[in-house]
């Protein structure tokens, strides 16, 4: 199997043969394009015998018409395919699943009957349903493999200026791979030229070697923040959820003296309203500053959860600054999240801030600066996909990626370089160089698989909380750790009460976190945990510290069967190999050290 570049495609513009490369001023329907072969990439990091190519390209506006540009694609023919063609589909944001699909058999998730547009917008760069029935879609990167067992990795070199979507589909030349720069109906200034993110291709060598080379290259190009220390901590979410109160925090803080936590994070439930982050509700009468002082007084680093780009309809910020809200195509505030427990005046529907507005970015900068000054030097930034939705944004020169990045840039500017920023619900390609860590999977839950009494999101059930879903992400995204950021696989499940996880499945997940080398977080009521829970945590910390040290040296955890089925069942690092039975969470761990 091999790829052969064929043409450029742009909706509303049509097919542009590479043999005819328009230039500004030639009057070709208002836009011009260019593609340049840059030769090899990866340098000494390339696997032995591997071959690589790098393509640079650009798009420029050539006349006075204000035409929105949704996307432009480099199209490759996929030729000499031997047997079934399989595609590694990488997910868009933290919770979006990554898996392996078979071309011609499997279907894009957006085609599932009853798929919800808001859920598509949360989990895809382009929230529209695919136009080609056999299309498979991957975000930021993909790996293609056939029966020749010579994988080809195709990925974008960055994601800060636009999304990159890989679309495998049947086209006029047969099987095609569209490398799409998704620009989200951006408006170009007259005469403006935009350099698009380079497309990187490498073939030959093992899958883990290809992924390693790509991640190292992208991290280097993007200035990845990978220098923070190994993280061990506690957060309030998975035991108390929205019902957490100040007494719960104080109680666990006292018990934390007996536990090896560096970070102590207050999660969702303290705020007076989504968007009004500096005022607490009646459950937290002492306020944020007092809480931070108590945490630091116990020798822990205070952490705080924020969903900085969302505002409740009945929040003070929405009432006082309606001009800060992103708008839908109907002119009403854009709805881009639903969470019933938040309330907010519209039954849990949330508005999004317009990060293209300078005053919004200043608000975000001041928010981060204020909470850091209060003592919170560890911030979990959640639901940060919000600025990526289709809508009427104030400044239409921003792509969706730039809207997300602008929000993160403002938060980093306010927080300062020493504050630890953890992204969550974040379009992953947009965050390299601004966060220190990212959640890389769906939420865990006190059950292995998605419970039968939980309504499934059509086409997107793998995004819903379940420990099996978190396992799959930990294995498929292990190669990103210490190359793009620190991986946060999500919390251990240590409880023996109020849980459907078997002790074996709970230990399987703890060992998976340890083998991955990622962050080790606990989210149980510490007063209910005994010696067996402490033993599971200590094993996870021991394994994770060694695996993390190896990752710093360049030896990250890998899944040896990543492309052998829809979901991986193995994860190995210098501490050992874990083999997981996907049906029930039982496992076999073979230690090396």
Q: Which residues are catalytic?
A: 382, 443
Alpha-carbon torsion, ordered 385, 391, 392, 397, to 10 deg = 60
**Separation between Cα atoms, residue 433 and residue 444, nearest integer Å:** 26
**Separation between Cα atoms, residue 21 and residue 26, nearest integer Å:** 10
**Separation between Cα atoms, residue 170 and residue 168, nearest integer Å:** 7
Decide: 533 and 259 in contact? Cβ < 8 Å. no
Instruction: Look up residue 246 and give its two tokens.
Output: 């100040």
**Separation between Cα atoms, residue 169 and residue 47, nearest integer Å:** 29
**Separation between Cα atoms, residue 359 and residue 108, nearest integer Å:** 38
Q: 43: which residues sit within 8 A by CB, 6+ positions away?
A: none
| Residue 592, helix vs strand vs coil | coil
| Residue 200, helix vs strand vs coil | strand
Decide: 352 and 309 in contact? Cβ < 8 Å. yes
**Separation between Cα atoms, residue 334 and residue 349, nearest integer Å:** 10
**Separation between Cα atoms, residue 221 and residue 215, nearest integer Å:** 10
In 11-94, which ranges are E strands? Answer: 14-17, 31-39, 51-61, 68-79, 86-89
Sign for the CA dihedral angle at 295, 300, 302, 303 comes to negative
Using the 8-state DSSP alphabet, how is residue 479 labeled? Answer: G
Alpha-carbon torsion, ordered 134, 139, 141, 142, to 10 deg = -30
**Separation between Cα atoms, residue 190 and residue 489, nearest integer Å:** 45
């Amino acid at each position: 199997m091999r790829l052969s570049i064929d043409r450029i495609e742009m909706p509303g513009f049509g097919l542009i043969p590479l043999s005819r490369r328009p230039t500004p001023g030639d009057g070709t329907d208002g836009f011009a394009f260019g593609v340049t072969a840059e030769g090899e990439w990866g340098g000494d990091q390339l696997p032995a015998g591997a071959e690589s190519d790098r393509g640079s390209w650009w798009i420029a506006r050539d006349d006075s018409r204000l035409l929105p540009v949704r996307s432009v694609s480099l199209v490759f023919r996929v030729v000499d395919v031997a047997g079934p063609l399989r595609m590694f589909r990488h997910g868009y944001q933290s919770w979006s699943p990554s898996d392996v699909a078979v071309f011609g058999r499997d279907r894009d998730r957006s085609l599932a009957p009853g798929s919800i547009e808001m859920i598509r917008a949360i989990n895809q760069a382009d929230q529209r349903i695919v136009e080609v029935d056999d299309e498979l879609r991957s975000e930021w990167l993909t790996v293609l493999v056939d029966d020749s067992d010579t994988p080809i990795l195709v990925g974008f070199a960055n994601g800060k200026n636009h999304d990159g979507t890989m679309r495998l589909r049947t086209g006029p030349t047969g099987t095609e791979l569209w490398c799409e720069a998704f620009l989200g109906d951006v408006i170009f200034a007259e005469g403006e030229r935009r350099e698009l993110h380079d497309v990187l291709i490498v073939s030959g060598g093992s899958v883990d070697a290809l992924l390693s080379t790509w991640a190292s290259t992208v991290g280097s190009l993007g200035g990845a923040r990978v220098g923070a220390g190994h993280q061990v901590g506690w957060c309030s979410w998975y035991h108390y959820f929205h019902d957490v109160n100040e007494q719960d925090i104080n109680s666990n803080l006292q018990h934390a003296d007996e536990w090896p936590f560096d970070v102590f994070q207050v999660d969702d439930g303290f705020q007076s309203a989504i968007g009004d982050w500096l005022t607490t509700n009646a459950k937290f009468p002492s306020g944020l500053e007092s809480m931070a002082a108590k945490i630091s007084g116990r020798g822990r680093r205070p952490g705080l959860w924020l969903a900085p780009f969302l505002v409740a309809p009945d929040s003070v910020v929405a009432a006082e600054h309606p001009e800060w809200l992103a708008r839908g195509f109907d002119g009403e505030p854009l709805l881009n999240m639903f969470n019933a427990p938040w309330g907010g005046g519209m039954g849990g529907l949330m508005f999004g801030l317009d990060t293209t507005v300078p005053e919004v970015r200043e608000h975000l900068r001041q928010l981060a600066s204020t909470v850091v000054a209060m003592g919170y030097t560890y911030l979990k930034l959640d639901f940060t996909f919000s600025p990526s939705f289709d809508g009427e944004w104030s400044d239409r020169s921003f792509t969706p990626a730039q809207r997300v990045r602008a929000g993160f840039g403002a938060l980093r500017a306010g927080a300062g370089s020493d504050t630890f920023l953890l992204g969550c619900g974040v379009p992953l390609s947009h965050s390299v160089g601004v966060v220190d860590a990212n959640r890389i999977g769906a939420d865990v839950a006190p059950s292995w698989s998605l419970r039968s009494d939980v309504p499934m999101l059509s086409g997107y059930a793998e995004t819903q909380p379940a420990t099996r879903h978190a396992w799959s992400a930990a294995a498929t995204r292990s190669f990103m750790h210490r190359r793009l950021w620190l991986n946060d696989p999500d919390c251990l499940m240590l409880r023996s009460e109020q849980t459907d996880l078997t002790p074996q499945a709970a230990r399987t997940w703890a060992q998976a976190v340890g083998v991955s080398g990622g962050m080790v977080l606990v989210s149980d009521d510490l007063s209910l945990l005994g010696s067996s829970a402490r033993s599971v945590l200590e094993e996870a910390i021991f394994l994770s510290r060694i695996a993390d040290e190896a990752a710093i040296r360049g030896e990250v955890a890998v899944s040896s069967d990543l492309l052998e089925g829809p979901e991986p069942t193995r994860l190995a690092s210098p501490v050992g190999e874990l083999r997981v039975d996907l049906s029930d969470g039982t496992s076999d761990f073979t230690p090396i050290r």
